Amino acid sequence: MFEYGGYAGKFLRLNLTDKKATTLPLTKEMARMLIGGNGFAVKILYDELKAGIDPLGPENKVVFANGPIQGTIIPTAGRNVVASKSPATGGFFDSYGGGCFGPELKYAGYDGIIVEGQAKEPTYVTVNDDDIEFKDASHLWGKMTFETQEILRKEIGDPKIQITCIGPGGEKLVKFAAVIWGARAAGRGGVGAVLGSKKLKAISVRGSQDVNVPDIDAFEKYLTELYGKIISNPGTGQALPKLGTPGVTTVQNQLGILGTNNWQTEVFDKAEKISGDVMRKNMVVRDRGCFACPIRCTKMSYVRDGPYAGTFDEGPEYETIFAFGSMCGIPSLEAIAKADLLSDEYGIDTISAGAVTAFAMECYKEGILSKDDVDGIDMTFGNDSALIEMIHKIGKREGIGDLMAEGTDRAAIKIGKGAEKFSSAIKGLEMAGHSPRGMKGFGIGVATGTRGGSHQDARPTGERIGKSPTDRFTTEGKPAYAIGTQHTTTMQDAMCVCRMTEGIYGLWEISVEHLNTINIVTGMNLSLEELALCAERIVNLERAFNCREGMNRESDVLSIRFMTEPIPEGPSKGMYYPSGELEKLKDEYYEIRGWDKKTGVPTKQKFEELGLNQEAKDFYK
């Protein structure tokens, strides 16, 4: 048994080239230094990948990883990471999903799975504790994700088996293809395309092993306290159970930070039609929770009438409402639910799919793309049938969908004619539904983050709920604040707990709550300082991965619109991130981080402080 509680003690390695399964032991040092999740993933990928490899070539690898809490009933312990070198950003990318896959993987005896090599024919892998089989997936290739799971469940004969898979989007190497389990998605960064390039259609997992904690009485006592905090908190005890993340739609709009019509503005005059309370009233038929989650923020929606009648969708979440709704100027929750369902079935990321559609709509509006260029579709903002058609075309890589499947930055280069100024991508990833120009701390955090246009490195929450040290309009102190949010998200991702608990764990500091959870589950008895160093170590390792791929200070920018166009109306009117302001804040940010101000690379001293001496040698001879 592994020395610390919570962990299984080994990773499963699946080599698709020679169809061999082996294991890699988890070391005590790795657990103490990197906790789990993104920490494990970045360490494995940094050590095992060479810089400059093709993300869609056989040399790339995909790491599924758990933290120590998966398999226990610590609230929101249902998540796990899928990480790889991203075909969207070219850097390290970690994408997360809820559900039950991570816990089942732990019960099968693994802290993670490393997928490597490339199969010649479509393949799926069954994992039943130590019994691993590589199987022909020819009959599944081309199938949508839900059908794939249904067929496999019948074929394997176990209704409770957990299956992760890709859809046609991943098979066709859509740069923002997702990995799906159930109806949950590790949506961002194109990790599904990496599996597609390896011809790995699915992995099924079933386990029968226990997860141990060192002191079950202490665990139960702490668990009761933690549940109590979640239930008594208005955010996790009331807001999220009632409306889920869609509740935030009208809040964002009221503050004038709801990206609309491809970020041309941040006020959507029809936002009330896509609000969480309208969704609850008209569409939600039941609530659903991931493994071990008392919040149950997932809303199951059913469209009763109209052109999308019969759509039964898990969601949509806020990000999807933003991407398919306000970004495309579409005030129809029914159309958004249909687009969400289709995206999950094709296995593509809803945020990027909405952003590329909005980008195409603006290019069409400006005459950069003609009606012929877009296969005769009327790509006017607000046209919901155009959105639905675009999802099909992207999922199949047909016509205009083939171009848009590359993501906005690559599509803009191919289109030319100044289209790049309409791309919302940051480091190659389309911006999620939070405004980098309307929240100064969030903006500097996004610019410097590992993943680019993500809301999961830096966080918008503190500034949006008035809890950050200074308000969202202020730049003073924001580099330190942004670093704080990046560390808390990193710790949450190492633990693999859901962002919905960020108000409980802490918005911009590694807290006693993080520490208690980890120590009670593992018995590692880390100090708060040691734990904070773990978060900093992971961030720096991710940065080192990206710098080794050629990213540098110049990569830490926002998209053109956010740096040159002020928000034109509403409560955030006039806000933007001029280059001079951003560069000044970057100096301060690098200074605090201990990163070289010229290159953006962690200094030798910083690497050594964090025990990353081996990695330092890649940059300092």
Partner 1 sequence: MGKVKVKLFAHLRQAAGTNEIAIEIGEKSSIKDVLEMTIKTFGPDFEKNLKDTSTGEFAPFLIMIGRKEISSVKGDLSTIVMDGDEISLLDPIGGGIK
Q: List residues near partner 1 by CB under 8 A.
A: 95-98, 185, 187-188, 228-229, 231-240, 242-243, 245, 247-248, 250-251, 254-255, 275-277, 280, 317-320, 349-351, 432-434, 455, 459-461, 464-467, 471-472, 498-503, 571
Give me the half-sphere count of Cα atoms (radius 13 Å) on the Cβ side of residue 437.
30
The phi, psi pair for 466, rounded to 5°, reads 75, 25
Of 237 and 594, which CB lies nearer to partner 1 in the complex structure?
A: 237
Contact residues for 563 (Cβ-Cβ < 8 A; gap 6+): 557, 576, 577, 578, 579, 582
Q: Which is nearer to partner 1, 167 or 433 (CB)?
A: 433
Tell me whether residue 180 or residue 539 sits nearer to partner 1 (CB atom): 180
Please state, in angstroms and rounded to a whole number, the distance separating the CA atoms of residues 431 and 118.
Answer: 31
555-565 burial, b if ≥16 CB within 10 A, otherwise e? bbbbbbbbbee
Q: Report the C-alpha gap between 92 and 88 in whole angstroms.
A: 10
- Containing 223, the helix (H) or strand (E) segment is helix 216-232
CB of 571 to partner 1, least distance (A): 5
> Which of 34/186 has CB closer to partner 1?
186
CB nearer to partner 1: give 138 or 232. Answer: 232
How far apart, in whole angstroms, are the C-alpha atoms of residue 431 and residue 528?
A: 33
Based on CB atoms, which residue is closest to partner 1, 285 or 465? 465
Cβ distance to partner 1 smaller for residue 340 or 389: 340
Least distance between partner 1 and beta carbon 466 (Å)? 3
Nearest approach in angstroms of CB 477 to partner 1 is 14
What's the min distance (Å) between Cβ of 373 and partner 1?
Answer: 29
* Residues forming a β-bridge with 314: 300
> Which residues make Cβ contacts (< 8 Å) with residue 350, sequence separation at least 6?
185, 187, 316, 317, 319, 320, 323, 324, 339, 340, 343, 344
Q: Least CB distance from residue 307 to partner 1, whole Å?
A: 26
3-state DSSP helix/strand/coil percent for the chain, to nearest 5?
A: 45, 15, 45
C-alpha torsion 61→105→202→316, nearest 10: -100
In the complex, minimum distance from the CB of residue 97 to partner 1, in angstroms, rounded to a whole number: 8
**Two tokens, residue 483:** 């670093």
Nearest residue to 321 (alpha-carbon basis) of 246, 408, 242, 430: 246
Which C-beta is closer to partner 1: that of 95 or that of 197?
A: 95
Q: What beta strand segments (E) does 267-387 contain?
A: 284-288, 298-302, 312-314
Nearer CB in complex with partner 1: 461/486: 461
Q: Can you tell me the distance from the alpha carbon of 264 to that of 112, in angstroms, rounded to the nearest whole number?
A: 42
DSSP strand pairing (200-206 vs 162-165): antiparallel
First to last CA, the chain: 40
Distance of alpha carbon 4 from alpha carbon 8, whole angstroms: 9
Question: Residue 551 and residue 402: Cα distance in Å, rounded?
Answer: 27
89 or 126: whose CB is closer to partner 1? 89
Indicate the residue among 5 and 276 with the shorter CB distance to partner 1.
Answer: 276
User: What DSSP character marks residue 599?
Assistant: T
Q: Which is nearer to partner 1, 81 or 379 (CB)?
A: 81
Min dist CB 443 to partner 1, Å, is 15
- φ/ψ of 117, rounded to 5, equals 80, -165
Considering the complex, what minimum distance in angstroms separates the CB of residue 224 from partner 1? 12
* Helical ranges in 499-569 per DSSP H: 502-505, 512-522, 528-548, 560-564
Q: Smallest distance from the beta carbon of 142 to partner 1, in angstroms?
A: 25
How many CB atoms lie under 10 A from the CB of residue 537? 23
